[in-house]
Amino acid sequence: MSHTATILLLGSGELGREFVISAKRLGAYVIACDAYDNAPAMQMADAREVFSMLDGAALRAAVEKHRPDFIVPEVEAIRTEVLVELESEGFHVVPSARAAQLTMNRDAIRDVAAGELGLVTSRYRYAESLEEVRAAAAFTGFPCVIKPVMSSSGKGQSTVRSEAELAAAWDYAVSGMRGDRARVIVEAFVEFDYEITLLTVRHAGGVSFCPPIGHRQERGDYRESWQPTPMSETAIAAAQDMARKVVDDLGGHGLFGVEFFVKGDEVIFSELSPRPHDTGMVTLASQNLSEFDLHARAILGLPIPAAIRARPAASAVILADRDSETVSYSGLAEALTEEGTDVRIFGKPTSRPYRRMGVALATAGDVEDARRKARDAAARITLSYGS
């Protein structure tokens, strides 16, 4: 059977699951990889490989076995030096091995954004011990935000308001880090009006932007998002200019999730992921082409609209509250009762406290009503746990 492309997906969570669906709709053959079997994307893919993305030998073996047209990282914690080697040998890493290497660590991408490109960021320093954390906090002042240089979905992130809280924040950051580096970034807390994700697509025809996505976090992790979020024309232009600079510097084709803090017309660069973003799950309802569709199109060299529009929509996560080896769901009919609502169950085989297990989506005449509908739908889903 012929395929448009063979894709090796590194990481198989809920974002990977939706990407697999989009890629397969365009005729791709997808091999989904993760450290555990039956991960969400594996359930949709053509084939699977189970290994740690930090195992360089296993990563190389999977690439050499499948000889993919595209290697597509879905997670940050990857042995990126192997990706650099593979790219030098002729394999296509999405969007580029350099992008994967820089964005795996918050320190690397921050140094490029602030130091090389001159983007506006908060005051920050790095630390590799509690003593260095104390010195960094003295530089940034209080309150400050402490987070691992490598983590996912806000894990290990906390806001510190006094010196007495630094030790606990350091311990929490180390416990939430991914990979093998005990290093954190300490940055001044930004007094922002709101924060956004600007989904930015770099493709064969240029750079396209999705309407900005607003989001709310708890424990450093996203709980709900909505699109479009109101921004002044000045702020939008500033965000797009900074996003274009950083994605052009990273190179390659694909979708990037670029995060900003916004205060009035002032825009401050925060972070970047060279892949679909969790807050961007709202695009499953808001846009005719979701972030996953756009990522797949850009990778495959297919046309991307110059102007991407969004109807008012929102997403709200469905969380687990305990560790369990088995999970079942009820309340789906109730969640879908109100017109314009939808639900995605991720199919994760096990649960743990605060793990995202699904997301509710809603469209409405305005964003606030969509947010209400999404929250209500998520609240109607009940998780039941086995022993």
- The mean pLDDT value for 294-302 works out to 98
The whole-angstrom separation of Cα 291 and Cα 308 is 11
Indicate if 204 and 342 belong to the same structural domain: yes
Structural domain containing residue 79: 5-93
CA 161 vs CA 116, 128, 142, 188, 327: distances in Å: 30, 20, 5, 11, 38
Domain identity same for 262 and 230: yes
Bridging pattern class, strands 221-227 and 213-218: antiparallel
State the DSSP H helix or E strand holding residue 97, giving kind and residue range, or none if neither: helix 97-103
Catalytic residue among 279, 283, 290, 351: 279
In the residue annotation, 161 being an active-site residue is answered as no
Residue 113 belongs to a domain? no
Catalytic residue list contains 356: yes
The number of domains in the chain is 3
Please report, as a single letter, which amino acid is at residue 286. S
Q: Which helix (H) or strand (E) holds 49?
A: strand 47-50
Note whether residue 372 is domain-resident. yes
CATH code of the domain containing 175:
3.30.1490.20
pLDDT tens digit string along 176-208?
776 666 889 999 999 999 999 999 999 999 999
Active-site position among 56, 154, 205, 347: 154
Domain identity same for 141 and 222: no
Q: Which of 98, 356, 375, 380 is catalytic?
A: 356
Whether residue 54 sits in one domain with residue 177: no
265 is catalytic: no
Does the residue 104 lie in any domain?
Answer: no
* CA dist., res. 57 & res. 10, Å (int): 14
Q: Which of 163, 188, 213 is the last residue of a domain?
A: 188
179 has catalytic annotation: no
The token pair at 10 is 């590194």
pLDDT at 180: 63
Tell me, yes or no, whether 247 lies in a domain. Answer: yes
Residue 275 and residue 269: Cα distance in Å, rounded? Answer: 17
CATH number at residue 293: 3.30.470.20
From CA 275, how far away is CA 234, in angstroms rounded? 26
Structural domain contains residue 267? yes
Each residue of 102-148: pLDDT tens digit? 987 777 888 899 999 999 999 999 999 999 999 999 999 999 999 88
Element (H, E) at 241: helix 233-250
Instruction: Kindly state whether residue 335 falls inside one of the protein's structural domains.
Output: yes
> 84 and 209: one domain?
no
Sign of CA dihedral 312, 230, 225, 298: positive
151 and 82 together in one domain: no
What pTM, to 2 d.p., does this model score? 0.92
Is 278 catalytic? The answer is yes
Whether 154 is catalytic is yes
| Cβ within 8 Å of residue 137, ≥6 positions away | 144, 146, 160, 163, 166, 186
Same domain for 257 and 179?
no
Last residue of a domain, one of 93, 114, 132: 93
pLDDT recorded at residue 176: 77
Of 188, 211, 232, the residue at which a domain comes to its end is: 188
**167 and 202 co-located in one domain:** no
